Chains A and B, each alone.
Chain A
Amino acid sequence: MTKRLSVNHLLGIRQVQKEDIQLILDTAVQFKDVINRPIKKVPSLRDITIANLFFENSTRTRVSFELAEKRLSADTVNFSASTSSVKKGETLIDTVNNILAMKVDMVVMRHPNPGACMFLSRHIKASIVNAGDGAHEHPTQALLDAFSIREKLGELEGKKVAIVGDVLHSRVALSNIYLLKKMGAEVMVCGPSTLIPRYISSLGVKVEHDIRKALKWCDVANMLRIQLERQDIRYFPSLREYTMQYGLTMDILKSLDKEIVIMHPGPINRGVEITSEVADSSQSIILEQVENGVAVRMAVLYLLASRTEN
């Protein structure tokens, strides 16, 4: 087994090797054990300072990263674009370099522009963790999804995963596709043709427009939110019509001859892509995903920190 990541940053799943993914998932198992102890904290990163730079809104990811950092005993500073000098016209590199001048070792960044983390990694020395860059990648979400699938169904190889919904605007979908393909799983995307990127099949995924067929095929269904805030034009006639065609209901689930696992990266729009009944059912592992998120992010930060010079 490899003991060390091959990269200094986690910019996207595309840049990491299969062995890196395996190492992160295996390490996360031990961290999950740590966060279930009476004292949920280890001192590993007590000499590391991490800046959380959120140029875009986030609740889950931000809290999850912050908890992961605190449970590793790292010092943290938080920054959100709405309360900063970004509004006064400062550039990204200037903002980050000013923060790094205060002796920060790692940066966790969410940014609305695809490639923002990649760009930054060429200009600064600190390790960067991508917490979502536009509609590009969200690597820690894909890792925690993989961790949750592995915990529920065993090794990823050969598993069939359907990603249903707004694939076009979803960074979760792209990171998941890269990761699942690298680990040997089969992937199908499903949604209205306006929300499926035209060349997506070149990534080696199947495309399906009928949700019933997709669910019949898969072991795991990852339901995506319709990202209205990213949609500059209308991709379907109405939300109601989308729900009728692609909403996951208990009736559809019951019509299948097997029990599939239901995932959702959150935030859920109850009654749109998934009904409350399904989201709260025993087949849904949505809250497990959130719990696993902290363990997986601890593993990522721990493994990246062990590469930093001190």
Chain B
Amino acid sequence: MAPRLLFTPHQLNITINRLCHQLIEIHDDFSNSVIIGLQPRGVLLAHRIHQTLSGILNKKDIRFGELDVTFYRDDFRKKDLVPNKTVIDFIIEDKNVVLIDDVLYTGRTIRSGLDAMMAFGRPKDVELLVLIDRRFSRNLPIQAKYVGRTVDTVSSENVKVDWKETGGEDHVWLITQEKE
């Protein structure tokens, strides 16, 4: 089946703007809040959100971190996983954390992310923001507070997010894997 387009660049822009305004409703000027993107692909979305927020709030010092969860995963013997960089140069003790990933599927990455985050302090509050929520496919009781779009998928389908930063255009695709 041909890939289905979930987001055009224009739609993606509108959605990211909407998510940012939702964040501001709760977090005000982000003085006690931090943004943490999950490696590798959540970081790209987190960057975009961070940029947009900085523009709207006209504030340059919103704290931003990149978190790699490889060493905290429960499936590292089942897949070949290459660790990425973790860059968090602040302590998250008593902060409100917005955890960002591109796609929420089984919830296992987020579970590892919650564990990995605790190495940087005990946050006051943690919220999850995702661009795509693949409904009905969760293995763990994890839900996102801010969602770009909810889609119904089956396990043979994949959600692929392309970004300008990685050389393509801003697109989100739903791809059906061919059975061999």
Contacts and interface: CB of A to CB of B under 8 A. Distances in A.
Interface of A: 1, 3-4, 26-27, 30, 33-34, 37-39, 41-44, 72, 302, 305-310
Contact of B77 (A34, A37, A41, A306): A306
A139 B110 CA distance: 36
Contacts of B119: 34, 37-39, 41-42
Interface stretch (B79-87, B125-133, B157-165): B79-87
Main secondary structure of the interface of B (DSSP, over half): loop
A3 B86 contact: no
Contacts of A3: 80-82
Contacts of A309: 77
Interface of B: 68, 70-73, 76-77, 80-86, 91, 115-116, 118-121
Main secondary structure of the interface of A (DSSP, over half): loop
In the complex, the 10 A-B pairs of residues with the closest C-beta atoms, listed nearest first: A3-B80, A42-B71, A39-B119, A30-B83, A44-B71, A4-B80, A3-B82, A37-B119, A310-B77, A306-B77
A38 B76 contact: no
A44 B91 contact: no
6 contacts: A42-B116, A43-B115, A44-B72, A72-B71, A306-B77, A309-B77
Given A30-B71, A42-B119, 4 more contacts: A4-B80, A27-B82, A44-B73, A306-B76
B158 to A, nearest CB: 20
A72 B83 CA distance: 14
A41 B115 CA distance: 11
A232 to B, nearest CB: 46
A37 B84 contact: no
Nearest to A4: B80
Given A3-B81, A4-B80, A38-B91, A30 B68 contact: yes
